[in-house]
Amino acid sequence: MARSRASAFKAQQYWVYEAHKQEEACDLARQLNLGLPNGSPGGNECDIMYPLHRLVITGKDSLPNLHLLFGPAASDALAEPHARARQAVLLNARAGLVDDEAPYIRPRKASRAEQDALGRQLQFGQEYRGLLPHCFGGTRDVASEKKQKQKKRRDVEDVVVGGGGGRHSKTSSSKRLRGHDTGSGYPSPEWMDTSE
């Protein structure tokens, strides 16, 4: 693990401090409309995922191009970030999201393993959306929600009306459900009967 971190650091350092000095790397960056950090360690372009996403989205994420931009440590260092970039780009391509600054969108076709992983991720996303429909814009079963609200209202009315031996009409029970002033400055809870 420490070796891969050291390799990733070397690849990052190469991208920030060395790539802009190589003519071939500069040519590739121009073709992909990719801003080189030019030795300045600040800004979004210094994040290693920035060039990786652009390489992936244009289908230029070959090993020679990775070596051009990230140096000789690229093969060891970028296996995991490259896989993450591929997954993100392939998922976004399916969703119709694009990179506005990329000259074109042409990622390489997903391998069988990548297709399987994407399928699992999409299935998980659909199941999760089903669990939390309001958060993710999923469909709501309005009829079912309406039935549940009506049932809750009937249950509360039954408790209030039934608890008093049937003496109260529905109109008086609906008044009670709004809460009463108990003299404490706070209205009583909706379910508490304070009239007696």
What does the block give as tokens for 8? 């990733």
Residues sharing a CB contact under 8 Å with residue 129, sequence separation 6 or more, in sequence order: 136, 137, 138
| Closest by CA position to 88, among listed 123, 57, 47 | 57
Helices (H), the chain: 2-17, 23-31, 49-57, 63-70, 74-77, 79-95, 112-131, 133-136, 142-163, 170-177
Residue pLDDT, tens place only, 65-112: 999 999 987 877 888 899 989 988 888 766 556 678 889 888 998 889
Phi, psi dihedral angles at 181 (to 5 degrees): -80, 120
- Find tokens 């408790």 and name the residue: 159
For residues 150-176, average pLDDT: 50
Dihedral, CA atoms, 138, 139, 142, 148, nearest 10 degrees?
-50
Q: What pLDDT is stored for residue 186 in this prediction? A: 43
Residue pLDDT, tens place only, 26-59: 999 999 999 889 877 777 788 889 999 999 999 9
Q: Is the pLDDT of residue 159 over 90?
A: no
Q: What pLDDT is stored for residue 185 in this prediction? A: 45
Q: Is the pLDDT of residue 173 over 50?
A: no
Q: What pLDDT is stored for residue 151 in this prediction? A: 72
What pTM does this model have? 0.61
148 band by pLDDT with thresholds 50, 70 and 90 = confident
Residue 27 is which amino acid?
D
